[in-house]
Structure 1
């Protein structure tokens, strides 16, 4: 059952937008205990229609990936189902994990690296309804014998752009105008988009929405401190 939902109304513009190569990009908020976490593209959607409903529920995965000091896309990784309050313990140099601990919605997801001489890239993943698959929300390094905690934040950032970007790409600046929507109250929201007027369906006084400018730094908008 979906707990969070956002409707994006593109209207009849969607046909010409798809012909022109516009893609809908989505990002999702995360709170974490480290300072070097970065957001990645949560989903790409090139088959959107006139009205688009993006939903997700409280279902999570944690993942491990090979360590790389460069901000490369997260496209090859080991995913593991996990619930809030539980821990994924990295049990071998390949990034395999054992899940331990009890479920507690009030506690974060923990990833613990039990390897003494190996670093990894790690993060958590969720499943948006428009793609129907778990994909990473963020990426950060985890040191040997280190621990990182993650808590999903119910904020979603959307961008329409013709610039080609892949799911899992590390993004720190908006590559087109976007909108950040806060759905933490559990109340479904509706916004609009058109090539003439860009993002709309809200006013400057609405506390649940924040326009994002081209080249604006989005790290602080999406990645918080636990």
Structure 2
């Protein structure tokens, strides 16, 4: 099974600047879907060394939550209440963990329910607990189809954002990174608070997209299929 990794290098001077500015690094994941919804803070850190690495495998869970539909307010936090491991191509009749069916949309996960929920995919970062990556609106008797990607958004921000927090715009310098076709699954970056993000020498690569503070990230990370 493929591992995907994004490695961020910070010089000692950059580490000191990040500390002095009170920045944390937040990571969000991208999906495509037929539903309305928002990206969520997936993982974060405020402890910085010479290198930081975000890693994941294409292993997925689906979740539902009654914690408030994410389209209602920008400061909502979405946390799973019922979560079940799923494979691509399966359909889940939520919230019953035993009602998983084959024959769904290839490459995607379908979530349906008689009750309205927030729902979405969850993934583990670096082998830890699976956490929601998106909050999607599931209406009563409705069905959400969600397709994972190997794109992540890395964002340095002075804001204190909890895991599961809805994010609609960048609150600091961010970079959207596509690891899908990375050699050995690895993308390497560097960050400096004064110079911003860099990807090494040569032309700016097509797999990285700069995102400025204040720029919308909702449609970058939760896009129509």
TM-score bracket, shorter-length normalisation: 0.7 to 0.9
Tell me, yes or no, if structure 1 residue 149 matches structure 2 residue 145. yes
Aligned match of 2:193: 195
CA offset digits 1:79-133 (Å, max 9, x no partner):
111111112112xxxx4433422488943111111x2xx311101011112x722
Return the alpha-carbon distance in structure 1 between the equivalents of residues 140 and 219 of structure 2: 26
RMSD, aligned α-carbons: 2.2
Aligned match of 1:85: 89
Return the alpha-carbon distance in structure 1 between the equivalents of residues 15 and 197 of structure 2: 14
CA contact (8 A) 1:176 1:215 kept: yes
Query: Which structure's residues are more often helix, by fraction?
Result: 2
Aligned match of 1:220: 219
Aligned match of 1:122: 119
- CA drift at 1:40: 0.8
1:58 counterpart SS class: coil
Aligned match of 2:6: 6
Tell me, yes or no, if structure 1 residue 75 matches structure 2 residue 89. no
Tell me, yes or no, if structure 1 residue 60 matches structure 2 residue 57. no
1:14 counterpart SS class: helix
Which segment drifts farther, 164-173 or 102-111?
102-111
2:27 counterpart SS class: strand
- CA drift at 1:20: 4.4
- CA drift at 1:76: 4.8
CA offset digits 1:139-194 (Å, max 9, x no partner):
11111111111111111100111211111111111111111111121431111111
Gap regions ≥5 residues in structure 1: none
CA contact (8 A) 1:179 1:209 kept: yes
Q: What are the within-5 Å matches in structure 2 for residues 100-111 of structure 1?
A: 100-102=100-102, 106-111=106-111
Cα 1:27–1:204 change in 2 (3 A) is: farther
Normalising to structure 2: TM-score of the pair?
Answer: 0.88
Which segment drifts farther, 201-210 or 184-193?
201-210
CA contact (8 A) 2:63 2:80 kept: no
Report runs of 4+ in structure 1 exceeding 4 Å deviation. Answer: none
Task: Work out the number of aligned pairs and report it.
Answer: 217
Return the alpha-carbon distance in structure 1 between the equivalents of residues 105 and 117 of structure 2: 26
Normalising to structure 1: TM-score of the pair?
Answer: 0.87
1:17 counterpart SS class: helix
- CA drift at 1:77: 2.3
Return the alpha-carbon distance in structure 2 between the equivalents of residues 119 and 152 of structure 1: 22
